[in-house]
Amino acid sequence: MERNPVSAFGLRRDSGPRESGPDVAPGLALAFFSGPNAVAAAMEATGALFVAAFIPLQPRPSVHFLVFVCVAVAALLSSAVRITAGKYFPTWTLHIDVAAANLAVSVLTATAVAEHLDLANLFLLVEIFALLYLPVRSALVHLATGGAAYATVLILAGPTTGGPDLVDWITVFGLGTVIAVVVVGLTSVLRRTAAADPLTGLANRRSWDERLDVEFERSRRSGEALSVVVIDIDDFKGINDARGHQAGDQVLRAAADCWRGAIRGSTDFLARLGGDEFGIIAAGSDESAARFLAGRLSRALPEGISASGGAATWNRVESESDLVRRADQAMYEAKQLRRRTPAR
């Protein structure tokens, strides 16, 4: 049976070390905040409970009482939908949630003003969520919309409250602006940190998986070739054991720096997959191009480091994991061949 397009290459020089230690599993907080659906459900439920706490203060029967009840029930229902079926919704539906929440808070605030209650801080809950999970420009639009809505509420309530209270608006949305600056700055730093390997500065495994998803979909639409190269430093554990982990870290950084300069910056995506294993997503590269890339990588290695690698070209049938597995198997075969071949 003819094998899928796979190429293997062995890169011979002296060995280098291996970084040890398993990846640290994300904590419960990180797991919770990593996706917007659970957070949206939690915030909507929190808002519903907050509003429900004011329901006993409303005279019954009255329009104000019905408004508070309807908003609380709607928020609870939206929370239930997000937590149970949110994963099936496209990302853009979050904009609907945020816009609906701004509208609900506007109605609540207008009702609360008449009852001499202040619920405007609920706007901040909505805008914080938008800043965390929506593109910055979209989040700022929602923030501006909320600010305009609250200003409208204060202006319309002016005749009954003695005029619009500018101090209230500045207090809420001045704070909202400060929060926006802090959240955007922190999330930008965290996103860069989450996407990069701290030792080598290369993309990490999460970024690799995300990029591979994108390139698979692009290749599926365009019909262009897609190859994956997996590289493993030879005898890395031996160098770690003999010379220490600091020497191993130096080898990893040196290899990363060399390979960073050997790839095509516009189309090749280099990442550290873990330990001493690196990978390259070569968009638009067929089997021969992947082999040529392997040659560049072999020539780019510094003295004192050797590596073995394998390349696989997508056969347009297999899954992403199967493609990477084939490249990994080719790398293992190259490593075994290198061990059996006497050094020159």
Active-site positions? 276
The single-letter DSSP state of residue 263 is S
Give buried/exposed letters for 26-47 (b at 16+ CB in 10 A, else e).
eeeeeeeeeebbbbbbbbbbeb
Rounding to the nearest 10 degrees, give the CA dihedral for residues 24, 307, 294, 21.
0
Question: How is the beta sheet containing 226-233 ordered, strand by strand?
Answer: 6-11, 307-313, 226-233, 277-283, 268-274
Helix extents (H) in the chain? 28-33, 36-52, 63-85, 93-114, 122-133, 136-156, 158-161, 166-195, 205-222, 236-243, 245-262, 287-300, 320-340
- Residue 197, both tokens: 């390997």
CA 22 to CA 246: how far, in whole Å?
A: 17
Strands 268-274 and 277-283: antiparallel
| 231 close to 279: Cβ distance less than 8 angstroms | yes
